[in-house]
Amino acid sequence: MTWEKGREGVFLNAKEEKKAWDLRTVSIGVLWIGLGLLYILLTQENVSGSNMALMRPIGMATALYAAFVLIRFRLFPMKVYPELWLFGLYIVAACVPGFFLAADRAAHMHMARRLAQGFAMVVSVYVFLGLTRSSRPILWLLLGASLIFAALGLAGRITYYRVFRQTLGGLNANIYARTPMFGFLACLGLMNACRGWKRIAFVPALAACAYMLLVSGSRATILSWASGTAVYIALTAPREDLRGFYRKVLLPAAAGAAVLCVVVLLIRNPYQLKSFWTRATMFFSDGNHSTSSRLAAITEALRQFARHPVFGIGAYQFRTLTAGTLDLNHAHCDLAELLMAYGLVGTALYVACAFYGARGIVRTLRLQGLKNPPAGSMAATMAGLFVAYLVMGLGDITIYEMNCQFVWAALTACGMLNRLNGTAV
C-alpha cells in the first residue's frame, strides 16, 4: 500500500497509517543524509582520490535503501515516471553496444561501470523527490555542498582556488567550477523563496559561490552561470517584492563585491587580473588554442558519428581515436559526445528524458506562474539550472561526471514532480 493511500484512509486502522507515515519520515531522513554525503564527496572527487573509498559504500547503502523504499511505497508507476525509465534505457544503450563496438574496450567498461553507479544514484534522487514531492531539499543540498567546497578552497584544502587558473597544473578548472555554479543558482532560488528581508542572510553564500566560480577561470561554466542567472532573473522580475530587492540590495552588493575583488587583485597580483581578462576576451579569437582545439574535437566527433550513426563507438573512446592529433579525452560538447559515443539511439533516449523534465518545468510555470512566491521561485530556479546545464554542455562534457548526473536527476525529475503535485516542483 502506498503512503498516499494511507492519507486517504485505505489502511486498516490509524496505527497502521501512523506507522507508514513514520517510516516515510525516517526514509526521507536516511536518503537525505546518504545523498548529502554522496554529493559532497562527488564535488571533491577530482581533488582527492581517497574519496572514492568512501563514495562506494555510501552510494551502495543509499541505493539499496532507495530500492527498499521504492518497493515499500510502490513509488514508480510507468505513467508518472517515464523520464526515469527513459534514462534507464539510455544507460543500457550507452553501455551494451560499446562492449562490442569500442576500440578501447577497457575504457568503455570503466565508464560503463560509472554510468551504472550513476544510474543507481539517479534512482535514489528520484525516490527521495518522490517522497518529499519538492525540489527544495535538493536545492539545499546543492547549496550546502557548494559552501563546504568554498570553505575548503578558501582554507587552502583545494589549493588552486586560492589564486587564478595559472596555478592549476594538470587540474581541470571546468570540473571544479560546476559545484559553485550549481550552488549559486540553488542559493538564488532558496533566497527568493523567503519573504521580506530574510533574503539578505543568503547574500554571503551567493558571494562565496560567485567568488569560487570566477577564480576558476572556466569560461564555459561562467557563461552557463550567467545564462542561468539571466533566465532566473527574467522569470522572477515581474514580482514586485523582488524588483525592489534586486535593485536595492542584490545589484549594489554584487557591484561592491566586484570592485573589492578587482582592488584586492590589483594590490596582490595584478598579473592574475590581466590574465583573467585576456582569457575572457580571447574566447572567440582565432589565436585561442582552447577554442580552436574544441572546435576541432567537435568536428572529429561528428565525423565519427557519421561513420557509426546508430549505436556510436562506445564511451570514452575519443583519445584512442585521435591519438597523436588531439590531446583531449572527449569532444568537449555533450551533444557531439553523445552522438559519437552512443549514436542516435542513446542520444534520442537522453533527449527524450530531458524533454520530459523541461516540460515539467514549463507546465509548472504556466500553472503556478509566480503568484505563489515560494513555489514560483522553485520552478524558476529549476528553469535557470536547466538552461545553465545545457549551456555548460556546449563547451564541456557532463555525461561522464557523476556529480553532474546527480543534478541532471533533479532536473529531469521536475516532470515527475509536476505530475505528482500538479502546480509545483
What's the chain's length in residues?
425
> Does residue 49 fall inside a structural domain?
no
Dmax over CA atoms of the chain, in Å, equals 74
Backbone angles phi, psi at 77, to 5 degrees: -70, 150
As a whole number of angstroms, the distance between CA 83 and CA 89 comes to: 10
- C-beta atoms surrounding 188 within 10 Å: 28
Q: What is the Cα 149 distance to its own chain's centre? A: 15
Residue 71 lies in a domain: no
Query: Contact, 210 vs 257, CB < 8 A?
Result: yes
**pLDDT for 270:** 65
Q: Answer positive or negative: Cα dihedral of 334, 337, 340, 342.
A: negative
Q: What's the rounded Cα separation, in Å, for the pair 395 and 333?
A: 5
Residue linked to cell 566586484: 258
Residue from 379, 421, 424 nearest 4 by CA: 421
Q: What is the pLDDT of residues 266-296, one digit of tens each?
A: 666 666 666 666 666 665 554 555 667 778 8
CA 305 to chain centroid, in Å, comes to: 26
What is the DSSP secondary structure assignment for residue 103, as one 8-state letter?
A: S
Which pLDDT does position 351 carry in this prediction? 96
Contacts of 281 (CB under 8 A, 6+ apart): none
Helices 203-216, 219-236: inter-axial angle, 10-degree rounding: 150
Neighbours of 337 (CB within 10 A): 28
Average pLDDT over residues 171-193: 87
C-alpha cell at 200: 539578505
Which pLDDT belongs to residue 14?
60
C-alpha cell at 326: 588531439
Quote the pLDDT of residue 8: 39
pLDDT at 6: 42
- Between 107 and 374, where is the model more confident? 107
Burial (Cβ within 10 Å: 0-12, 13-18, ≥19) of residue 273: middle
Query: Which residue intervals of 51-103 are DSSP H helices?
Result: 51-73, 82-101
Residues 148, 288: Cα–Cα separation, whole Å: 34
Higher pLDDT, 179 or 19: 179
Establish if 38 belongs to a structural domain: no
pLDDT band at 371 (very low <50, low <70, confident <90, very high): low
Amino acid sitting at position 204: P
Of residues 278 and 238, the one with the higher pLDDT is 238
Q: Write out the residue range of the structural domain in which residue 224 sits.
A: 77-421
Q: Based on the number of CB atoms within 10 Å of its own CB, is 30 exposed (0-12), middle (13-18) or buried (19 or more)?
A: middle
Does residue 166 register a pLDDT over 60?
no
* 85-112 confidence digits (pLDDT tens): 999 999 999 999 999 989 899 999 999 9
Q: Tell me how far apart the alpha carbons of residues 261 and 214 are, in angstroms, rounded to a whole number.
A: 10
Q: What is the mean pLDDT of residues 340-365?
A: 94
- Residue 66: inside a domain, yes or no? no
- Is 334 among the domain residues? yes
Tell whether the model's pLDDT for residue 10 goes beyond 60. no
In a domain, 325, yes or no: yes
Lowest mean pLDDT, pick from 162-171, 202-211, 315-324: 162-171
| Residue 7 predicted with pLDDT over 50 | no
User: What distance in Å separates the CA atoms of residue 102 and residue 42, rounded to the nearest whole number?
Assistant: 27
Burial grade of 268 (CB within 10 A; 0-12, 13-18, 19 or more):
exposed
Q: Which amino acid is at 347?
A: T
Cell of 409: 536527476
- In whole angstroms, what is the distance from residue 210 CA to residue 218 CA? 12
pLDDT tens digits for range 384-396: 999 999 999 998 8
Residue 3 has pLDDT above 50, yes or no: no
Q: To the nearest whole percent, how much of the chain has pLDDT over 90?
A: 43
pTM: 0.88
> Which residue did the predictor score with more confidence, 90 or 45?
90
Residue 332, pLDDT > 70, answer yes
Tell me, what DSSP letter sits at residue 327?
Answer: -
> Can you say whether residue 20 is alpha, beta or left, with left for phi > 0 and alpha for psi between -120 and 50 degrees?
alpha
Round to whole Å and give the CA distance between 70 and 368: 28
Q: What does the pLDDT average to over 337-350?
A: 95
Any idea which residue has 542513446 for its cell?
A: 346
Given a cut of 80, whether residue 77 has pLDDT beyond it is: no
34 Cβ contact list (under 8 Å, min separation 6): 58, 61, 62, 65, 124
Instruction: For the chain, give the percent of residues with pLDDT over 70.
Output: 81
Number of domains in the chain: 1
Q: Is residue 91 in some structural domain?
A: yes
Examine residue 44 and state whether it is found in any structural domain, yes or no: no
pLDDT mean over 161-166: 50
Q: Report the Cα 238 to chain-centroid distance in Å.
A: 27
Q: What is the mean pLDDT of the chain?
A: 83
Among the listed residues 302, 354, 364, 369, the one whose alpha carbon sits nearest the alpha carbon of residue 331: 302
Asked if the model's pLDDT at residue 1 lies above 50, the reply is no
3: Cβ contacts below 8 Å, ≥ 6 apart: 20, 21, 24, 73
Confidence of residue 74 (pLDDT cuts 50, 70, 90): confident
